[in-house]
Amino acid sequence: MPLKTPQEYLESIKTPKNLYMFGEKITDFWNHPIIRPSINTVMKIYELAQIDEYKDLMTVQSHLTGNIINRFTHIHQSTEDLIKKVKMQRLLGQKTGCCFQRCVGFDAANSLYSVTYEIDAKLGTNYHERFKDYWIEVQDQDLMVDGAMTDTKGDRSKRPIEQKDPDSFLHIVDEKDDGVIIRGAKIHQTGFLNSHRAIIMPTLSLRPGEEAYAISCGVDIDAEGITLIYGRQSCDTRKMEEGKLDIGNFKYGGQEIFVIFDDVFIPTDHIFMKGEVEFSRELVNRFAGFHRQSYGGCKVGVGDVLIGATALSAQYHGVEKASHIRDKLVEMTHLNETLFSCGIACSSLGFQRDAGNYEMDMFLANVCKQNVTRFPYEIARLAEDIAGGSICTLPSEADLRSSEVGTLLKKYLDTNPEIPVEDRYKILRFIENLTMGVSSVSYRTESMHGAGSPQAQRIMISRQANFEEKKELVKDILDINV
């Protein structure tokens, strides 16, 4: 059964041994008002894969089994696959208006596929076949897999082996005949709680002497020794209040988890790198490239929604025909489509690795993400400009429903007799949510830090810019020989 229905996914997600939020242990997390919107978002992925209109983007034939699978479990086999990945991500951003949480594991798998092949080719290991067997299970069961890379890092001026606390970077603490024991933490874990499994990866390029930190493996979310602490987001407790107008995006949401690994056992069959420090840099770089490509789709889809909400706000206020409003909406669209163009460009110029899978153009993927660290901030600024100050001063839904002041609010917040004040509330709160609230984490803030900070992309761009070649172009034109 390669494709799960949304209900089958809901019934299949596991209860972790230890999950905490606001200092309390959480059990039936799927009913928690703060967590449930993030589950609804993942369910949307499974829903769209069942709809004929979207199957070309959402599903694909596995090169491993020949079965039709969810594209989020696919290993790219062509530049067309890379392009459809970006288009699929845009679609999901349009349908949910938030982070849909399934990209990180997707990008981790495609990175590991080629790196394990190359480790085996050089060192005679069997990581690649082991990973393929693991990933066939993921495809056949339509599992959601998280990718866990970011460590807490401790003192950033020191290497992993120099840290006062060695657990600042996840590492192997013991080896058994049938596996290893790992300890440490992974932070900013998007959708970890909603996943079935996670792929662990090192967070930076490692050196000789740091072999214990060069670990990549698969782990079940409910494994013994894993503790999850739910990350706070701005305005998150609004989801626990009565009503839904103050929430903004009351259907869907993202999720970030602080994950602690306290002596977690990893069986040998789930280990895909163990001590091969010379390959850690390639794994980190390839994952970063795939994930930076992703931002040319997901952030664009959410941008489409924010632009739509801003245009509706202008319409509700009666200013949609003003020339400066139309010009700002055009600028928002221009920036958004530029991001999409970068995502499509790095996909179109993709190439085939020795393992057979396809990889995006690394240089343009970094250009894509560098633009993502800037453009969504300007799109959000223009949205706030057009929406007006009410996005951060609007009284609560309880006041709107109040028998004492509700009629006054409806009187003075009315802009058009054909537009209910409640609809104006929904749009203003939605824009607030995307630019300052819960969803701003997965739109604006994540645009800055997700898949690496801006400086990480600039370093990669500097490495790949090939200034010497550009100098030679000028020398050739001007007949310069030195």
Q: Which of 435, 137, 115 is nearest to 272 (CA)?
A: 115
Of the residues 256, 281, 306, the one at which a domain ends = 281
What DSSP string runs through 130-175?
Answer: HHHHHHHHHHHHT--EEEE-----SSTTS-GGG-SSGGGS-EEEEE
Same domain, 149 and 32: yes
Q: Which two three-digit tokens encode residue 139?
A: 């495809």
Of 250, 281, 312, at which residue does a domain stop? 281
Give yes or no: residues 34 and 88 share one domain: yes
Verify that 95 and 230 share a domain, yes or no: yes
Q: Helix 323-348 and helix 362-372: axis angle, to 10°?
A: 160
- pTM reported for the whole predicted model: 0.96
* Pair of tokens at residue 79: 């530049």
Asked if residue 303 is part of any domain, the answer here is yes
60: domain CATH number is 2.40.110.10
Q: Is 481 inside any structural domain?
A: no
**Same-domain check for residues 276 and 293:** no
Taking the C-alpha atoms of residue 150 and residue 62, their distance in angstroms, rounded to an integer, is 29
How many domains in the chain? 2
Residue 480 lies in a domain: no
Residues 327 and 429 in one domain: yes
How far apart are alpha carbons 347 and 353 in whole angstroms?
Answer: 14
Asked whether residue 1 is assigned to any structural domain, the reply reads no
Please, what's the largest Cα pairwise distance for the chain?
84
Just list the catalytic residues.
Answer: 99, 103, 190, 256, 291, 295, 298, 446
Q: CB atoms < 10 A from the CB of 156, how many?
A: 6
Query: Is 482 within the bounds of a domain?
Result: no
* Same domain flag for 332 and 402: yes
Task: Identify whether residues 295 and 269 lie together within a single domain.
Answer: no
In this structure, the answer to whether residues 201 and 68 fall within a common structural domain is: yes
Domain boundary among 266, 281, 296: 281
- Averaged in consecutive runs of 10 residues, what is the pLDDT profile of the chain (482 residues)? 92 94 94 96 98 98 98 98 98 96 97 98 98 98 97 96 97 97 97 97 97 98 97 92 94 96 98 98 97 96 98 96 98 98 98 98 96 96 96 96 97 95 97 85 82 86 92 95 90
Element (H, E) at 264: strand 256-267
pLDDT at 411: 97
Both 324 and 262 in one domain: the answer is no
Residue type, 225: G
Among residues 276, 179, 275, the alpha carbon closest in space to that of 219 is found at 179
Amino acid 108: pLDDT: 98
Please indicate, yes or no, if residue 478 is contained in any of the structural domains.
no
Residue carrying the six token digits 């407790």: 237
- 175 plus 310 within the same structural domain: no
Q: Are residues 128 and 177 in the same domain?
A: yes
> Do the domain assignments include residue 408?
yes
pLDDT at 451: 82
Q: Is residue 479 part of a domain?
A: no
Range of the domain at 405: 288-472
DSSP-derived 3-state class of residue 1: coil
Is 254 found in the same domain as 165? yes
